Structure 1
Amino acid sequence: MERNEREEIFANVAELLALIVEENKIDIEDIGAVIFSSTPDINAAFPAAGARAMGWSEVPLFGTLEIDNPEGVARCIRVLILWNTEVPQKEIKHLYLKGASVLRQDLKN
């Protein structure tokens, strides 16, 4: 993410969630909860509010702050989806967009 602005936070959350849902063929009703974490340099909006703005009104959402680590990725939002599924773990597609791809260079999107 380039800027700490509400519109950009919401756009990035929407992009990430839409791709995760699409790539993994997730039915929103099968989501138990979603946990967002963000780096301290993101404070213009709660990432969870971005999910609410895109219509995720029934999904329990939680946000947390990552530690301020000099080796961390700047302006980074992570999402952990607690998903009721029978898909084997090795078949779940984990997505790392933009600069976050350095977190898991072993995975290809």
Structure 2
Amino acid sequence: MVRAVRGAIQVDGNDRESIITGTTELVTEVMERNRLTTDEVISVIFTATPDLTAEFPALAARKLGFHDVPLLCASEIGVPGALPRVVRLMAHIAVDRPRQEIHHVYLRGAVALRVDIAQ
């Protein structure tokens, strides 16, 4: 069965270290909260707000061992007034669990994006 898990984190700044550190935290939390291994991850799409240009968020996943997982980075739409410095992800996973057992992860300031499902 294929499921999708979402997540987001607000990073400290537009520098390589902040993007890598924040994305590492996000990916690690998604994997731990959903009890996933990289073998269960089909693909991951990362997006970053237009103010984050110093590094590709996917690099953090590669450093965590996502060597054979297809990864894609894209830019979010630059909506006026949107929360700045946010890295988002949507991971497609192969698990035999009902949708309600999938844990979406919103960290730091990104909790404000989905108060209804943030944990």
TM-score bracket for the superposition, by shorter chain length: over 0.9
Separation (CA, whole Å) in 1 of partners of 2:118 and 2:47:
22
* Aligned AA (1:44): A
Name whichever of 94-103 and 48-57 sits farther off: 48-57
SS at match of 1:81: strand
SS at match of 2:21: helix
* Equivalent runs, 1:83-102 vs 2, <5 Å: 83-102=93-112
Separation (CA, whole Å) in 2 of partners of 1:53 and 1:6:
14
- The answer to which structure, 1 or 2, has the higher relative contact order (CA under 8 A, 6+ apart) is 2
How far does residue 53 in structure 1 lie from its aligned partner after superposition? Answer: 2.1
Give aligned pairs, total: 109
RMSD: 1.0
Deviation >3 Å, runs of 4+: none
Separation (CA, whole Å) in 2 of partners of 1:53 and 1:40:
23
Which residue is 2:13 aligned to?
3
Unaligned runs of 5+ in 1: none
Name whichever of 53-62 and 15-24 sits farther off: 53-62
SS at match of 1:7: helix
Give the alignment's TM-score, normalised by structure 1. 0.95
Which residue is 2:87 aligned to?
77
Separation (CA, whole Å) in 1 of partners of 2:24 and 2:16:
12
Which residue is 1:27 aligned to?
37
1:64 and 2:74 equivalent? Answer: yes
How far does residue 55 in structure 1 lie from its aligned partner after superposition? Answer: 2.2
1:46 and 2:49 equivalent? Answer: no
Separation (CA, whole Å) in 2 of partners of 1:104 and 1:91:
17
Separation (CA, whole Å) in 1 of partners of 2:118 and 2:50:
27
Q: Is the 8 A contact 2:38 2:65 kept in 1?
A: no
Percent of aligned pairs with the same amino acid: 37
Give the alignment's TM-score, normalised by structure 2. 0.87
Separation (CA, whole Å) in 2 of partners of 1:108 and 1:82:
19
